[in-house]
């Protein structure tokens, strides 16, 4: 049974990517292409410089760095010293706080990175909140075999990619200084405590499904 983004992120179907039905790790792998396609269809209330589009109601503080392709939506806020790169989409009312790095990630309405976060190769649903210092890692540096695998229920999924952070369902909350290991899927309204480690890698043997 495939992992369907729209079952975790309600706004996916009405976003510029609503027709993309790939697995979440394939979506992030192809994020630059998806963002480039979406840039060509934006309404006139975006200011576009090269491949970075910023809605006229968004606030980008001096010192923030945004590398395209990127879309920063209505009423979003990107703080000084934030760093966005690798294909980034911010829906409406999203916040990327000071010292936070957002890499190859889709953020949906009202999601927030407090400050000093790293989020890599991920899809964050609406209303997701990451407290200060929390991390979504995207690469299995500690393993010889870098392919991302995860246990989801009674299944082990082999993603076939080497970089993937997390799919976080709408309303997920992550406490300060928590670490999400590469390859995680969270149901809607999930809660992760402060200083926690969440690692869904299937260290035990189990049936493997390639998606």
Q: Measuring CA to CA, which residue among 133, 117, 121, 115 is closest to residue 86?
A: 121
Which element (helix H / strand E) includes 89?
A: strand 83-90
The rounded distance, in Å, linking the Cα atoms of 199 and 92 is 30
Active site annotation includes 55: no
Catalytic residue among 112, 115, 140, 151, which?
A: 115
**DSSP notation for 7-63:** GT-GGGGGSTTTT--S-HHHHHHTHHHHHHHHHTT--TTEEEETTEEEETT-EE-TT
Give me the active site residues, please: 115
């Amino acid at each position: 049974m495939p992992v369907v983004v729209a079952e975790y992120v309600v706004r996916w179907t009405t976003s510029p990517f609503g027709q993309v039905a790939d697995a979440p790790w394939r979506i992030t792998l192809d994020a630059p292409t998806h963002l480039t396609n979406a840039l060509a269809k934006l309404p006139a209330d975006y200011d576009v410089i090269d491949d970075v589009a910023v809605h006229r109601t968004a606030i980008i503080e001096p010192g923030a760095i945004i590398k395209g392709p990127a879309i920063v939506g209505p009423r979003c806020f990107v703080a000084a010293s934030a760093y966005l790169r690798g294909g980034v989409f911010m829906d409406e009312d999203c916040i990327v706080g000071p010292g936070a790095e957002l890499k190859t990630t889709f953020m949906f309405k009202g999601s927030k990175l407090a400050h000093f976060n790293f989020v890599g190769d991920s899809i964050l649903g609406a209303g997701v909140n990451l407290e200060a210092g929390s991390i979504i890692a995207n690469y299995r540096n500690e393993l010889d075999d870098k392919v991302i695998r995860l246990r989801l229920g009674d299944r082990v999924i082999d993603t076939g990619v080497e970089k993937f952070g997390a799919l976080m369902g709408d309303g997920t909350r992550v406490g300060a200084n928590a670490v999400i290991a590469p390859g995680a899927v969270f149901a809607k309204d999930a809660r992760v405590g402060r200083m926690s480690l969440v690692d869904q890698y299937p260290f035990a043997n189990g049936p493997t499904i390639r998606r």
